[in-house]
């Protein structure tokens, strides 16, 4: 990771489809076709991990099925002559840069390594004369990133798969290790297949983290074998539950694609639904008017001042976190409503008995919960309020999600915590579609306006931070809160917009939107070919004519 | 049609799913199930038209496949006991109110009748004792509307199809005859299957008009056999063309669903793409900066001052309109850019030769084009500028689309023209998703903000109009301009939002959004069951608890 590299990489030909933009690369002007017997050669890799073999398989599949015509006016027809005379590429050779001591680790193992230890860099060469292309890396994850890039190089013309920019040489590695997407599966439920498709799309733009906001006040779609009533009573329906098996499927699928899963059990707020199974642990369940006791209906929060509730929460988090192989686990901590506790007699009695203030009780709760995580080798993740709004003793290791505003990053960093940039003012995908609360005729979304990809792309993760503060930024993520989303608009609300942050945090900020737009078109069109419903960013007329639809063109 | 009825109908039980709200109805509290041998009886109808038989077939299909669980917390489980003891409905009898003189006309024939002559009213009864339900109407279109309503009455519980609100009596007819949806298939192309699915969804909310903005400056996806080069050179690709056969498919499909197709060939602006086939007819093609010569790239408009171009346009409109059986045809007329003609030497020469002003030339062009339509029995439709921005001699029969602002309706009516309410400030579905023009980092859509369903629902088609002006309002429509849409987000950007105008123009304005929301949830969920990707309006938690997520609940 090279945190010093925070400027845009070399400008490239607009037709080129690499996303995120590689650190360093050069291209030529020669045509090169993919041989019909093209294959990916891993003979240099002893005992290749199964997930690498699978990734190779998928890559070969995409090379055959993408069938993406070049985004130029004639869709590549004018290349026909040069393709007739072009060399043909028969092989892509994968190898480790410097040999290996022992068995190679799998993509899945490397994907869940400590976030600062992951090695994603690779080099890729595609000679123009038809001699073997190469991907070299010091890690299996690096080989996978190189394969992903290789898959973005090719267009289709009448069933010929080709590039017109050989030779190609790429040296690439990310600026930030945390490049994520958050999905809320509690406001509305998403079938497992939608999550898997999303993970594929994330991997195509080299994201590393699926932040899974699993449960919230509205539903508890997660099966917890130790506490089965949580989903039996709290899911939207018996078929709208992520079973233990589903969780395993999702995690394996993600890891095999270089993606770590960051599970979140939001506590102590956003937990009203737990009252359906364990009413004794929830203060002010369904209290009205809800707006007094919660940011969204229904009201209801864990009675963190109560020892039994602390114990229950610790057990719950222990049970859930044990089913995720990753090292990071979020206990949430956003939007805690103190009114809810003011009217909760049980909480008031507990505070009276223990002689603690609400904040002291929260501190006990948080320390207990964090201990559970740390004792099992996990690193806690929390929303920014846990650091900025309360005086709590948090593990030094804690990672903090900045969401309310990008302006809060400095304050979080000043407390010495590593942080993830998830600011609502840049990366909230749900903003701008009007208010969803009922009886609110001219209601707007609280985080208006709509966050365009262009605006997200202008985000600077270290803006207004000192060097010391900037060192604590480990990356960022786009987020989808799903009050107004379910399966039908998942793809269209996320893609290709979320690719904007994927590039910022891989390539560094400062990129030019005019240069990025043609490449982002390519991302969207390739996603569409692969079954992900990315939207059109412009009329196709514009997509085929880079720059011509620019404001001042 | 009863234009006097412009207030909300009787309030109904929130769980009820009728949309648009019927004129008058009553429901009971008895459970009634659909018998396994339920059938629709048309023995009273001699020689039933094929499209009615098809509609009956589809209705029976929906009754089996909708399988929509009631939108209540327990999804209807508590009804189980009463369903066990309920009567069972074996038959729905369709009949004409007052007998028929001769053969019945088809839905398709009635759908394209003069807009003021269409008869859509019906009565529907569903007794609680299992005796036959009835739909009666004075027209086949009315029977179809009644069938559509019948299809909204039923929920599913463990494969029992039921209502708990028998007996049901409905008397229903629309307030406005024009209830439409406009789709732009030129900025981005939509496969025929997407259009057919959209027509189905439109028919479920009883819309009457598919306003098809077929072509624009960016592409000409319509095959015109007399002018084949238009689509050969102007479509986005050989497979991205609506063939004559496709057009016929779309029109037949629409008509059979009670929907008239209003085709639009936008002229004389928005025609740059014609230069790909007939450069001699286009002024300022591709002129830069485009923003000087057009509202969108690329610039280019018909040389309406040229006699050959007038003749070409008349022939083109004659050719295209002849392939549509409907009586209405839009020649467009929006956003004419005069700078384009100022720099067009050919136009200036033509004006010099004829001694006409630009406006006089436009008048000649418009009269010629309108004559062609009227001579073939068609009624011309134009955008509002043709009436408000220029002094043209238009056919008195012309229907005017108000789009720039709802505030312009009065001025249009003052000119004596019938008008359709298509105001961008209420009904433009594309607004609020940021600017699509390139190199415009903080660009917003010109018609920000996003038009919520709630806001659209608050629209009053006759606000600030005198009675005389109000009589000229024939209805309204939601519109989708597709710079940022294609197949992947068609359903999600349109549904269920566009149902808001469908209800306003059927039931009359003034409805209450708190009362409407539960019903609109039902629309969205039923659409989803039928394969239309309507979005979630709220967390499912709220959808199952009408009113509980209201702002002040």
Q: Do A536 and B486 touch (CB under 8 A)?
A: yes
Tell me if chain B has a CB within 8 Å of the CB of A542.
Answer: yes
Q: Do A438 and B491 touch (CB under 8 A)?
A: no
My answer on whether omega of the bond before A167 falls inside 30° of 0, hence cis, is yes
- Which pLDDT value is given to residue A17? 85
Tell me if chain A has a CB within 8 Å of the CB of B74.
Answer: no
- Three-state DSSP at B290 gives helix
User: How far away is chain A from the Cα of B552, in angstroms, using its nearest Cα?
Assistant: 6
Per-residue pLDDT of A86-134, as tens digits, reads 999 999 999 999 876 678 999 999 999 999 999 999 999 999 999 999 9
Residues of chain A with pLDDT under 50: 1-15
The values of phi and psi at residue B513, to 5°, are -70, -25
Does the active-site annotation cover A110? Answer: no
My answer on whether omega of the bond before B268 falls inside 30° of 0, hence cis, is yes
Of A435, A437, A488, the CB nearest to B528: A488
Give the Cα separation of B535 and B493 in Å (integer).
Answer: 8
Q: Do B188 and A536 touch (CB under 8 A)?
A: yes
Tell which B residues from 454 to 493 touch A, by Cβ distance under 8 Å: 454-455, 458, 482-489, 491-493
Of A297, A432, A552, the CB nearest to B439: A552
Is the ipTM higher than 0.90? The answer is yes
Give the Cα separation of B332 and B184 in Å (integer).
Answer: 12
Q: What would the two tokens of residue A507 be?
A: 């390539």
CATH of A178-510, one of 3.50.50.60, 3.20.20.80, 3.40.50.970, 3.40.50.300: 3.20.20.80
How are beta strands A133-137 and A122-126 bridged, if at all? antiparallel
The values of phi and psi at residue A260, to 5°, are -85, 145
Of A450, A455, A535, the CB nearest to B432: A450
Tell me if chain B has a CB within 8 Å of the CB of A298.
Answer: yes
Q: What would the two tokens of residue B6 be?
A: 């412009």
Q: Which residues of B touch A514 (CB under 8 A)?
A: 438-439
- Which pLDDT value is given to residue B14? 39
Question: Least CA distance to B430: which residue of chain A?
Answer: A433
Pick from B517, B536, B550 the residue to mutate for testing the A interface (most A CBs within 10 Å): B536
Q: Do A548 and B297 touch (CB under 8 A)?
A: yes
Tell me if chain A has a CB within 8 Å of the CB of B191.
Answer: no
Pick from A287, A488, A494 the residue to mutate for testing the B interface (most B CBs within 10 Å): A488
User: How far away is chain A from the Cα of B291, in angstroms, using its nearest Cα?
Assistant: 7
Q: Do B449 and A434 touch (CB under 8 A)?
A: yes
- Which pLDDT value is given to residue A389? 98
Give the Cα separation of A370 and A374 in Å (integer).
Answer: 6
User: How far away is chain B from the Cα of A227, in angstroms, using its nearest Cα?
Assistant: 21
Whether the CB-CB separation of A416 and A435 falls below 8 Å is answered with no
Pick from B429, B488, B497 the residue to mutate for testing the A interface (most A CBs within 10 Å): B488
- Which pLDDT value is given to residue A58? 98
Pick from A536, A537, A548 the residue to mutate for testing the B interface (most B CBs within 10 Å): A536
Tell me if chain B has a CB within 8 Å of the CB of A75.
Answer: yes
- How many CB atoms neighbour CB A391 within 10 A? 9
Give the Cα separation of A328 and A115 in Å (integer).
Answer: 9
Pick from A291, A510, A541, A543 the residue to mutate for testing the B interface (most B CBs within 10 Å): A541
Of B219, B450, B533, the CB nearest to A541: B219
Give the Cα separation of B87 and B169 in Å (integer).
Answer: 17
Residues of chain B with pLDDT under 70: 1-15, 100-101
| Integer angstrom CA distances of residue B38 from B33, B129, B343, B421 | 10, 14, 69, 41
What's A274's DSSP letter?
A: G
* The one catalytic residue among A69, A109, A335, A515: A335
Q: Which residues of B touch A542 (CB under 8 A)?
A: 218, 297, 436, 438
Tell me if chain A has a CB within 8 Å of the CB of B289.
Answer: yes
User: How far away is chain A from the Cα of B343, in angstroms, using its nearest Cα?
Assistant: 18
- The helix (run of H) or strand (run of E) holding residue A454 is helix A453-457
- Which pLDDT value is given to residue A102? 78
Q: Which residues of B touch A217 (CB under 8 A)?
A: 541
Q: Do A488 and B488 touch (CB under 8 A)?
A: no
The values of phi and psi at residue B452, to 5°, are -70, 160
Of A187, A492, A517, the CB nearest to B488: A492
Q: Do A188 and B536 touch (CB under 8 A)?
A: yes
My answer on whether omega of the bond before A496 falls inside 30° of 0, hence cis, is yes
> What is the C-alpha radius of gyration for chain B, rounded to an integer number of angstroms?
24
Of B75, B535, B541, the CB nearest to A218: B541
Among A178, A187, A254, residue whose Cα is nearest residue A214:
A187
User: How far away is chain B from the Cα of A75, in angstroms, using its nearest Cα?
Assistant: 9
Of B443, B488, B542, the CB nearest to A535: B488
Q: Do B551 and A297 touch (CB under 8 A)?
A: no
Of B291, B296, B441, the CB nearest to A513: B441
Range(s) within chain A of domains with CATH label 3.20.20.80? 178-510
Give the Cα separation of B69 and A335 in Å (integer).
Answer: 33
Tell me if chain B has a CB within 8 Å of the CB of A5.
Answer: no
H-only helix segments in A257-305 = 290-293
- 3-state DSSP helix/strand/coil % of chain B, to nearest 5: 35, 20, 45
Range(s) within chain A of domains with CATH label 3.30.379.10? 24-172
Give the Cα separation of A450 and A6 in Å (integer).
Answer: 26
Q: What CATH class has A24-172?
A: alpha beta
A464, burial (CB in 10 Å: exposed 0-12, middle 13-18, buried 19+): exposed
Tell me if chain B has a CB within 8 Å of the CB of A191.
Answer: no
Give the Cα separation of A160 and A488 in Å (integer).
Answer: 34
- How many CB atoms neighbour CB B108 within 10 A? 24
User: How far away is chain A from the Cα of B485, in angstroms, using its nearest Cα?
Assistant: 5
Whether the CB-CB separation of B112 and B326 falls below 8 Å is answered with yes
Q: Which residues of B touch A537 (CB under 8 A)?
A: 436, 484
Tell me if chain B has a CB within 8 Å of the CB of A130.
Answer: no
Of A444, A453, A487, the CB nearest to B449: A444
- Which pLDDT value is given to residue B102? 78
Q: Do B484 and A537 touch (CB under 8 A)?
A: yes
* The one catalytic residue among B335, B374, B483, B515: B335
B200, burial (CB in 10 Å: exposed 0-12, middle 13-18, buried 19+): middle
Among B331, B386, B396, B24, residue whose Cα is nearest residue B174:
B24
Give the Cα separation of A515 and B441 in Å (integer).
Answer: 12
Give the Cα separation of A465 and A468 in Å (integer).
Answer: 8
A232, burial (CB in 10 Å: exposed 0-12, middle 13-18, buried 19+): middle
Q: Give, in degrees to the nearest 5, the angle at Cα B131 between B125 and B135.
A: 30
User: How far away is chain A from the Cα of B540, in angstroms, using its nearest Cα?
Assistant: 6
- Measured in Å, how far apart are chain A's first and last C-alpha atoms? 38
User: How far away is chain B from the Cα of A307, in angstroms, using its nearest Cα?
Assistant: 30
Per-residue pLDDT of B246-264, as tens digits, reads 999 999 999 999 999 999 9
- Three-state DSSP at A79 gives helix
Whether the CB-CB separation of B153 and B163 falls below 8 Å is answered with yes
Q: Do B489 and A535 touch (CB under 8 A)?
A: yes
Q: Which residues of B touch A459 (CB under 8 A)?
A: none
């Amino acid at each position: 990771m090279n945190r010093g590299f925070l400027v845009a990489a070399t400008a490239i030909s607009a037709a080129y489809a690499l996303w995120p933009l590689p650190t360093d690369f050069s291209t030529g002007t020669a045509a090169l076709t993919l041989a019909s017997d093209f294959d990916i050669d891993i003979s240099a890799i002893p005992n290749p991990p199964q997930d690498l073999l699978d990734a190779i398989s998928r890559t070969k599949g995409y090379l055959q099925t993408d069938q993406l015509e070049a985004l130029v006016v004639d869709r590549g027809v004018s290349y026909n002559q040069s393709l007739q005379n072009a060399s043909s590429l028969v092989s892509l050779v994968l190898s480790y840069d410097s040999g290996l001591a022992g068995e190679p680790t799998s993509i899945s193992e490397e994907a869940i390594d400590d976030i600062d230890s992951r090695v994603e860099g690779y080099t890729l060469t595609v000679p123009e004369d038809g001699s073997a292309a190469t991907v070299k890396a010091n890690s299996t994850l690096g080989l996978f990133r190189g394969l992903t890039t290789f898959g973005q190089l090719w267009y289709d013309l009448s069933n010929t798969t080709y590039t017109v920019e050989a030779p190609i040489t790429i040296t690439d590695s990310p600026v930030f290790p945390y490049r994520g997407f958050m999905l809320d599966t509690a406001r509305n439920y998403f079938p497992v297949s939608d999550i898997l498709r999303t993970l594929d799309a994330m991997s195509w733009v080299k994201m590393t983290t699926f932040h899974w906001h699993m449960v919230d006040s509205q539903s508890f779609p997660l099966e917890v074998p130790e506490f089965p009533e949580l989903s039996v009573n709290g899911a939207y329906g018996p078929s709208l539950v992520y079973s233990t098996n589903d969780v395993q499927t999702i995690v394996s699928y993600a890891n095999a694609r270089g993606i770590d899963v960051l599970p979140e059990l939001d506590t102590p707020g956003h937990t009203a639904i737990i009252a359906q199974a364990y009413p004794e642990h929830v203060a002010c369940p369904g209290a009205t008017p809800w707006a007094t006791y919660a940011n969204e209906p229904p009201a209801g929060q864990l009675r963190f001042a109560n020892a039994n509730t602390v114990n229950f929460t610790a057990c719950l988090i222990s049970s859930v976190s044990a089913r995720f192989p990753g090292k990071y686990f979020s206990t949430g901590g956003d939007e805690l409503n103190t009114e809810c506790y003011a009217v909760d007699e049980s909480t008031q009695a507990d505070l009276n008995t223990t002689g603690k203030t609400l904040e002291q009780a929260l501190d006990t709760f948080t320390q207990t919960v964090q201990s559970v995580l740390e004792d099992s080798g996990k690193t806690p993740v929390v929303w920014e309020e846990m650091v900025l709004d309360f005086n709590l003793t948090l593990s030094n290791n804690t990672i903090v999600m900045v969401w309310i505003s990008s302006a809060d990053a400095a304050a979080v960093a000043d407390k010495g915590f590593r942080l993830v940039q998830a600011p609502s003012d840049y990366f909230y995908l749900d903003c701008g579609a009007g208010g969803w609360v009922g009886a609110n005729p001219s209601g707007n979304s609280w985080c208006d306006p709509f966050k365009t990809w262009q605006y997200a792309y202008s985000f600077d993760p270290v803006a207004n931070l000192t060097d010391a503060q900037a060192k604590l930024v480990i990356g960022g993520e786009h987020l989808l809160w799903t009050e107004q989303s379910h399966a039908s608009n998942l793809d269209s609300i996320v893609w290709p917009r979320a690719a904007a942050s994927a590039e910022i945090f891989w390539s560094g900020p400062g990129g030019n939107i005019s240069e990025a737009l043609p490449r982002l078109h390519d991302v969207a069109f390739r996603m569409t070919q692969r079954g992900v419903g990315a939207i059109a960013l412009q009329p196709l007329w514009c997509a085929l004519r880079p720059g011509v639809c620019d404001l001042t063109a």
